[in-house]
A and B are shown apart, each in its own frame.
Chain A
Amino acid sequence: MHIRKILSTLLLMTLLAGVMLAAGCQSGTPTNAPAEKVKVGVLYISPIDDGGWSTAHNRGFVMAENEIGKDKIEWVTKENIPDTDAAATETALRIMADAGCQIIFATSYNYMDTVEKLAKEYPEIKFEHCSGYKTADNMDNYFGQIEQPRFLSGIVAGLTTKSNKIGYVAAIPIPEVVRGINAFTLGVRSVNPDAEVHVRWTNTWFDLSLESAAANELLNLGCDVTSQHQDSAATLKAAEAKGVFGIGYDNPMGDAAPKAYLTAPIWNWGAYYTKKIKAVMDGTWSVEQYWGGMKEGMVGLDTLTDLVPQAAKEKVAEIEPMILEQGNDYVFKGPIKDNQGNEKVAAGTSLSKADQMGMDWFVEGVVGSVG
């Protein structure tokens, strides 16, 4: 009896709190016209101090705030909203919309359908969705060509390994991750045709124990350099504990494992975020499906540490200008075979953008299977 009473009271209070929260947020009128101040919503999949994906986005928004002015931007942010939970996504987006945000950034792939739905309902709000493909009059998407620094980090790994076995801890078998593994491996094989890249899937973006379990399995196989498409530094720490080397991801990760860290492909969202928020302020916002590379500064390779062999430093310095010039065409330049031996890209051509976006096969040199 008591428990029922307590529970019902609690439920009632929760509901009341929800109503008050919603009512309290209904202030502020959205507007299209040029504005002195702007209210920006940001939806994060993990806490902004995850040290990985969300930290990188947050770094971008901090830069935008510094560029535009702290007093000009008001933030409505929601962290730790799983992108597989459509109801939670919708609630969070509605809170931002009702709070009067003029532009909302949704920073994970699976937010896409919910963003599309809300974009229809709130035509006056600009929606920016990261890494997806859907657009509308007020819904844009954006992403970066992380394959370019991944290729360069592959060069570093290929010239660092002694066992010719490189480990790659990978999150989820989707084209974005497969593309990264392939770009990395192409980089490795461009300087070391004998090296193999062994892949282990964790099926999660962020789980320290699973990531380190996958890393340890690879290290036990004899891999002496690791790379990762994971949002934590667990793989690097595992490499450091084994006394070998590792390549990070998302952000500079040297602090986590200074004795193992070589470099990392990193995200620099700041310039894009500054541009789009400014565009909302001066009324020039448009849908552009931005896909920036190293040239645009959207992605980059972290400074090579002292652990990187001199030969690798020189090789990276030699190849980087060509990537700046040719972008992904350089990374995915034929001839490319898949790891079954079939020719996928003929010499003299490059993989088309559509084929890059849907990549579901591994290049020669990858040991593992997609999915």
Chain B
Amino acid sequence: MTDTTPLMVLAVFLASAVRYSMPLLVGTLGETVTERSGHLNLGVEGMMLMGGAAGFVTAIRTDSLVLSLLAAMGGAIAGALFYAVLTVTFRANQVVTGLALTLFGAGVANTVGKGAVHASTPPHIQAFFAWQPLRPDLSAIESVPVLGPAAVFLRTVLLEYNIYVYMAVLLAVVLSLLLHRTRLGLHLRVVGENPASADASGIRVAATRYGAILVGGALCGLAGLYLPLVHNGTWVENITGGRGWIVVALVIFVRWSPLRAMLGALLFGALEIIGFKLQGFPQLAGNPLFSQYIIGMYPYIITVIVLVANSARKKGGWRGPGALGLPYFREER
């Protein structure tokens, strides 16, 4: 029997928001790494689709999760490499190249995925992602007043996820430490802030940027794989449905921070499903603020507000990687 106390309704809603935030979170982590190196890659949607198609097709062909994960990363890295060669080596305009990658990626993915349309995720992979490794058995204390419901609430909100969710959270923490507490992260940030000084102090700018773009691509591929393999259990054309663009907005929204990315993705994930919750309140029906169409705009509206607030900051505040979007010409130092 479904528990319909307000507390449990809230818990179930939060847990769904977490599940819906996963592709956004992992994509945002990837794009954050890329943008921290000074490269704006608008091709997230394309890379997510390429990774998703390659990974899902591999999963149904080989029945192997490991190969599927590798293929998802590989597919998206291929797209990222295309972008990296054009923008790092040939210094092409990053915006145009990113847009091209979006279109190209969608085309490639829809072609590759043609044979996999409506195929289902192999049963043992489904079972693997249905597994909730941290879920404790609370039957002993469930009936205790106050303590029981509180424990069930916490379990639903925190401990009933599959392994992908925990890995994504771990990844956010690791990336944050990597960026702020290691030499590698320092190098990456310097390259993104001021490639000329990085170059002068002996950091290999092009290599660092290649690395960041390819790692970013790999993560976008894993984000793209979540939708067909875990979340929907099947592939259809354009399965990402614009989530790549939400990711691009999210990176700005969380101001290039892997830790804030968790909260940002959770908020945007909740926005994706809150419309269906609100439809349960007839008194809200007809109020345009709560219509599904308007709710679909909220992520973008919020991002625009953050963008404006960000650029209106007083002098001295950090406004994102200093060299973001700019090609680096060594001879122009």
**In whole Å, how far is B100's beta carbon from the nearest beta carbon of chain A?**
10
Q: From residue 218 to 266 of chain A, which have CB atoms closer than 8 A to chain B?
A: 220-222, 232-234, 237, 241, 255-256
Whether the Cβ atoms of B286 and A256 lie closer than 8 Å is: no
CA distance A241 to B13 in the complex (A): 17
What residue of chain A has the Cβ atom nearest to residue B231's Cβ? Answer: A209
Contact of B279 among A3, A200, A209, A234 (CB under 8 A): A200
A212 touching B232, Cβ below 8 Å:
yes
Query: Given the complex of chains A and B, what is the CA–CA distance between A147 and B241 in angstroms?
Result: 30
Q: A51-B117, A209-B227, A256-B120 are in contact. Are A369 and B232 (CB under 8 A)?
A: no
A145 lies within 8 A of chain B by Cβ:
no
Chain A residues 248 to 296 lying within 8 A of chain B, measured CB to CB, are: 255-256
Name the distance in Å between A255's Cβ and chain B's nearest Cβ: 8
The interface-forming segment of B131-139, B214-222, B270-278 is B270-278
Known: A209-B227, A368-B279. A234 touches B273 (CB 8 A): no
A208 and B286 form a contact (CB under 8 A):
no
Question: Does B2 count as interface, using CB distance less than 8 angstroms?
Answer: yes
Contact residues on B (Cβ < 8 Å of other chain), bracket: 35 or more
A214, CB-defined interface residue at 8 Å:
yes
Instruction: State whether the Cβ of A111 lies closer than 8 Å to any Cβ in chain B.
Output: no
* A220 to B276 Cα, complex, angstroms: 11
B236 at the interface (CB under 8 A from A): yes
Cα A14 to Cα B12 in complex, Å, equals 50
List B1-37 residues whose CB lies under 8 Å from chain A: 1-2, 4, 9, 12-13, 16, 20
Query: Are A222 and B231 touching (Cβ within 8 A)?
Result: no
Could you tell me the distance in whole angstroms from the C-beta of A46 to the nearest C-beta in chain B? 8
**Chain A residues, Cβ within 8 Å of B276:** 200, 213-214, 217
B28 to chain A, nearest CB (A): 17
Is the beta-carbon distance between B292 and A202 smaller than 8 angstroms?
yes
Interface string of A186-220 (1 = CB under 8 A from B): 00000000000011111100111110111011001
Q: Once bound together, how far apart are the Cα atoms of A238 and B117, in whole Å?
A: 18
Assess the B277–A217 pair: CB atoms within 8 A. yes
Q: Contacts A3-B96, A222-B1 hold; do A213 and B233 have CB atoms under 8 A apart?
A: no
B121 to chain A, nearest CB (A): 10
In chain B, what residue has the closest Cβ to A3? B93
CB <8 Å contact, B2 and A209: no
How far apart are the CA atoms of A233 and B231 in the complex, in Å?
A: 13
**Shortest distance in angstroms between A234's beta carbon and chain B's nearest beta carbon?**
6
Contacts of B273 in A (CB 8 A): 213, 216-217
A50 interface contact, C-beta 8 A: yes
Interface: A306 (CB within 8 A): no
What is the minimal beta-carbon distance from B246 to any residue of chain A, in angstroms?
12
Q: Cβ of A203 and Cβ of B285 under 8 Å apart?
A: no
A240 vs chain B, min Cβ distance (A): 9
Give the distance in Å from the alpha carbon of A371 to the alpha carbon of B293 in the complex: 11
B12 & A3 in contact (Cβ 8 Å cutoff): no
What are the residues of chain A within 8 A of B118 when measuring CB–CB?
Answer: 49, 51, 233, 255-256
Counting CB contacts under 8 A, is A297 at the interface? Answer: no
A237 near B234 with CB under 8 A, answer yes
Please report the C-alpha to C-alpha distance between residue A206 and residue B238 in the assembled complex, in whole angstroms: 11
Q: Are A220 and B236 in contact (CB under 8 A)?
A: no
- B40 contacts partner chain A, Cβ-Cβ < 8 Å: no
B286 pairs with A369, CB closer than 8 A: yes
Contact of A209 among B13, B237, B272 (CB under 8 A): B272
CB pair A213 B241 closer than 8 Å = no
Residues of A within 8 A of B234 (CB): 208, 233, 237, 256
A47 to B113, CA, bound (A): 12
In this complex, what residue of A is CB-closest to B277? A217
> Which residues from chain B contact A232 at a C-beta distance below 8 Å?
236
B272 touches A213 (CB 8 A): yes
A255 and B117 CA atoms in complex are apart in Å by 13
Contacts A213-B272, A222-B2: A208 and B239 contacting too (C-beta < 8 A)? yes
Q: Which residues of chain B have C-beta atoms less than 8 A from A233's C-beta?
A: 118, 234
Cα separation A47 to B238 with both chains bound (whole Å): 11
- Whether the Cβ atoms of A371 and B227 lie closer than 8 Å is no
- CB-based contact A50/B236 at 8 Å: yes
Distance, CA A139 to CA B286, complexed state (A): 36
Contacts of B120 in A (CB 8 A): 256
Please measure, in the bound complex, the distance between the C-alpha atom of A248 and the C-alpha atom of B12, giving whole angstroms. Answer: 26
Q: Which residues of B contact A214 (CB under 8 A)?
A: 276
Tell whether, in the assembled complex, residue B285 and residue A371 are in contact, meaning their CB atoms are under 8 Å apart: yes
Chain A residues near B9 (CB-CB < 8 A): 220
A-B interface, 5 closest residue pairs, ranked by CB to CB distance from nearest: A217-B276, A222-B2, A369-B285, A208-B232, A203-B292
9 contacts between A and B (CB under 8 A): A2-B92, A50-B236, A200-B276, A201-B292, A209-B239, A213-B273, A217-B276, A234-B232, A237-B234
CB within 8 Å of A: which residues of B? Answer: 1-2, 4, 9, 12-13, 16, 20, 92-93, 96, 114, 117-118, 120, 130, 227, 231-234, 236-237, 239, 241, 272-273, 276-277, 279-280, 282, 285-286, 292-293
